[in-house]
Structure formats: C-alpha cells, structure tokens
Amino acid sequence: MVERESINQVALLQSLAQGYLGGTIKVKDIRAVGDTGIGTFEGVNGEMIVLDGTVYQALGDGRVVVADDKVVVPYATVTMFDDDVALDLTNVADKTAFENALNKAVKEYGENSFYMVKMHAEFSSILFRSEYGSQQPYPTLLEALKGKQTEFTAKNIKGTLVGLYCPNYMGGLNTPGWHFHFISDDKKQGGHILELSLNKGTVHFDKTDKFTMMLPDDKHFHEFNLAKDMKEEIRSAEQDKQAGMK
C-alpha cells in the first residue's frame, strides 16, 4: 500500500547542489510513490513536473516529453495528492505576492508540516526556466546550470502550477519555503517558475505530516560531505534570473 500522507524525496537537494547528478532511483520508482510533484533528471537534463501520475520532462530546448520509466532521477519530491484545503486568489501581481498569500495559509494550517500545492489557472504572464543536461564527470549544480539555462515567457497561458513547501528546519536536506514548477494545458511548455502573475486562481493544498527521504544505493553518493552548507548555492541555482519579467 502506498503511503498517501508522505512527501517522498529522492536524495537531498544538498547532494544535487554538490554535484550528485546521477543516481539509482528511476522515474518508475517516483511514479510508485507519488502522482504529483517536482524534481529533475540525470545530469539536470530539464525540469520535472509530476501531474496526475504522469512524469513530464521539460527540456532545455523548450520541448516537453513524458519521461521514460527507466530515466534516472537524482532529486525529486512527490506525493499522492489529496485536496485538503483550497485558497482562492485574485489579482496576483507577482511570485512574491503569490508566496505571501500561501505563507499566510501555511501559518494557519501549521508551519512545521509539509505542503504540496497545485493550481490550475490562466496565467496573465509566466516566466519559467529549463536547462540542457550535463555529462559526466558531473559539475556542481551551479556549474551545471551556467550557460545551459533557457528561459521562456508566456502570456495568457492556461496550465498548472505544482509546488512544494518545506518547513524551516529542512535547511539541511532541502530548502525551507516554496519551489514551483509549471506545465501548460497542452503539455507542450513547462519548467521552473521564476515569475508569474494571474487574475484568478484556486490553490489546492495537500497538508502532509510525513517526510520520507529515499537514498540512492550507490557508492558515489557516500563520497559527498553533505553537511557542507550549500544555502547560497541553492538559493542562487533556484532563483537566478537572467532577465526580469516586469
């Protein structure tokens, strides 16, 4: 039986940041424990969006494909989505305003839990990123993203945002706060959200009181000193923007 009430994480965001871009856990293993979530692929070959049980791969060239079950996943967080609570939003000017609204809800429902969120909406404007993959020997995440990122802006586009909230004590295994990915309704565009605006939308929250970390069964994984502070590198990798949207 699959544990619906667990956030299931492959490895650590810290191992990805340090350059553990391979692994032993596969798309098939991800699908077994979650129908909704975000992540990346071997070599950081694009952004992962898991929606309704399908694992989508948003590639550096702008295409979106359904990932093969055999593709390796160095980092991801997924869960079986349950619609616990909903939050109606109007006139969201930017990502900061969006996060502020979500933070208010999290404060009410419990800041020390995990939340997966999902919102289907028409975005007035959205800026998202993907990237071309790196080859072995793998560099760090920051190096892997350097010069390999591609950004896409879309106006009045219908699609779904999938996001994860980690509590503030998760700085050693992940990063506290929010992280959002996007996939369009036609499943042709997607990536890591850098900016967004929308007139109307409803965010659905899956409040989750269990966190499971699945470590790769791999000698290479044990060579990393994962206690190293990667906060700045993670912030830079997740939030770096080549161009503003406004």
d(CA 239, CA 241): 6
Applying CB under 8 A, the site for its own copies has a residue count of 33
Which of helix, strand or coil describes residue 65?
Answer: strand
224 belongs to the binding site for its own copies (CB under 8 A) = yes
Element (H, E) at 16: helix 13-18
The first and second tokens of residue 11, run together, are 């490895």
The gap between the terminal CA atoms of the chain, to the nearest Å, is 47
Cβ proximity to its own copies, 1 vs 243, nearer residue: 1
d(CA 112, CA 14): 20
233 belongs to the binding site for its own copies (CB under 8 A) = no
Please choose, out of 34-42, 47-55, 194-202, 204-212, the segment that lies near its own copies by the rule CB under 8 A: 204-212
215 belongs to the binding site for its own copies (CB under 8 A) = yes
Nearest residue to 116 (alpha-carbon basis) of 18, 33, 197, 238: 33
Please choose, out of 42-50, 72-80, 206-214, 234-242, the segment that lies near its own copies by the rule CB under 8 A: 206-214
Which of helix, strand or coil describes residue 231?
Answer: helix
226 belongs to the binding site for its own copies (CB under 8 A) = yes
The single residue among 53, 68, 110, 156 that binds its own copies, judged by CB under 8 A, is 110
Cβ proximity to its own copies, 22 vs 62, nearer residue: 22
Cβ proximity to its own copies, 65 vs 213, nearer residue: 213
Please, how many CA atoms are within 13 Å of residue 223, restricted to the half-sphere of its CB? 7
112 belongs to the binding site for its own copies (CB under 8 A) = yes
Site track for its own copies across 139-168, x = CB under 8 A: ----------------------------xx
The first and second tokens of residue 67, run together, are 């990932």
Residues 6+ apart with CB under 8 A from 138: 19, 20, 21, 22, 43, 144
Is the CA virtual torsion 183, 189, 191, 197 positive or negative? negative
Min. distance of Cβ 55 from its own copies in angstroms? 20
133 belongs to the binding site for its own copies (CB under 8 A) = no
1 belongs to the binding site for its own copies (CB under 8 A) = yes
103 belongs to the binding site for its own copies (CB under 8 A) = no
Min. distance of Cβ 99 from its own copies in angstroms? 18
Element (H, E) at 87: strand 85-92
Using CB under 8 A, list all residues that contact its own copies: 1, 6, 12, 14-15, 110-113, 167-173, 176, 209-217, 219, 221-222, 224-227
